[in-house]
């Protein structure tokens, strides 16, 4: 075994990376589930994603803090390689959500690449509540852009932010 088990007293830190543009109830569900096995969860907003985001990094951080306020949850942004960020943060786990088979190929590739870069870091896949499996940030953005009701899918702070964004 390359990575010895952590001593019982060590706190188990998980990093949950993503775009979170914006955070949805699906993301929040994954954070909650992570807290069942991690002492601390760092929600990490990727700054260098190739996508053109709707919300700025600062806006996304603020919305995540509103949506998942919990003493064991920290919200940070990161630039560069996730494995470097995780190492600096003292994390031993990367958490990712798996919704459908369509997520699998990309997630599998990324997990293997991250293992290649940092063998001591374990990727953990979590499945959300059934009614949240169809939910994605891109779908929320599209529905909200056209004035559809997403109030059941996001935190009230996110709902307001979407209204403000599309009212402009
Ligand atoms: P990325 O651009 O890295 O995919 P996202 O913010 O879209 O960033 O997603 C971050 C992580 O959260 C991914 O692992 C994604 O599969 C997961 N995720 C997103 N929405 C849901 C959901 N409704 N249920 C479970 N996991 C989800």
The residue with tokens 């919305």 is 63
Whether the CB of 19 sits within 6 Å of ligand 1? yes
Report the percent of the chain where pLDDT is more than 90: 86
Protein residue closest via CA to atom 3 of ligand 1: 18
Collapse the DSSP code of 39 into the 3-class scheme (helix H, G, I; strand E, B; otherwise coil) and give the result: coil
| 20 contacts: CB under 8 Å, gap ≥ 6 | 27, 43, 45, 60, 63, 64, 137
pLDDT of residue 6: 56
pLDDT of residue 50: 65
* Res. 168: pLDDT tops 90: no
* Res. 162: pLDDT tops 90: yes
| Predicted model pTM | 0.93
Mean pLDDT, to the nearest integer, of 98-126?
94
Cβ contact 132:152 at 8 Å: no
Cα 1 to ligand 1 centroid, rounded to whole Å: 30
Cα 154 to ligand 1 centroid, rounded to whole Å: 14
* Res. 5: pLDDT tops 90: no
Catalytic residue check, 51? yes
Collapse the DSSP code of 43 into the 3-class scheme (helix H, G, I; strand E, B; otherwise coil) and give the result: strand
Q: Which of 77, 99, 141 to mutate to test the pocket of ligand 1 (most atoms within 8 A of CB)?
A: 99
Whether the CB of 13 sits within 6 Å of ligand 1? no
Q: What is the pLDDT of residues 87-102, one digit of tens each?
A: 999 999 999 999 988 8
Provide the b/e sequence for 7-36 (b: ≥16 CB within 10 Å): eeeeeebbbbbbbbbbbbbbbbbbbbbbee
Whether the CB of 132 sits within 6 Å of ligand 1? yes
Query: In the Cβ-directed half-sphere of 137, how many Cα atoms lie within 13 Å?
Result: 16
E strand spans, 71-145: 73-78, 93-97, 122-126
What 3 state SS string does 24-45 have?
CHHHHHHHHHHCCCCCEEEEEE
Q: What is the pLDDT of residues 37-67, one digit of tens each?
A: 999 999 999 997 667 899 999 999 999 999 9
Catalytic residue check, 136? no
């Amino acid at each position: 075994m390359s990575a010895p088990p952590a001593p019982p007293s060590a706190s188990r830190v998980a990093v949950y990376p993503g775009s979170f543009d914006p955070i949805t109830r699906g993301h929040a569900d994954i954070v909650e589930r992570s807290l069942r096995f991690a002492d601390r969860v760092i929600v990490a907003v990727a700054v260098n994603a190739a996508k053109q985001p709707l919300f700025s990094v600062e806006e996304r951080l603020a919305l995540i803090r509103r949506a998942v306020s919990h003493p064991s949850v920290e919200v940070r942004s990161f630039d560069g390689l996730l494995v470097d960020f995780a190492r600096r943060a003292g994390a031993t786990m990367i958490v990712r959500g798996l919704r459908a088979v369509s997520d699998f190929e990309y997630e599998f590739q990324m997990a293997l690449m991250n293992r290649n870069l940092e063998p001591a870091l374990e990727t953990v896949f979590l499945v959300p509540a059934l009614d949240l499996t169809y939910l994605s940030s891109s779908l929320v953005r599209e529905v909200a852009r056209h004035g559809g009701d997403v109030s059941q899918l996001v935190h009230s702070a996110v709902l307001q932010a979407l209204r403000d964004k599309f009212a402009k």
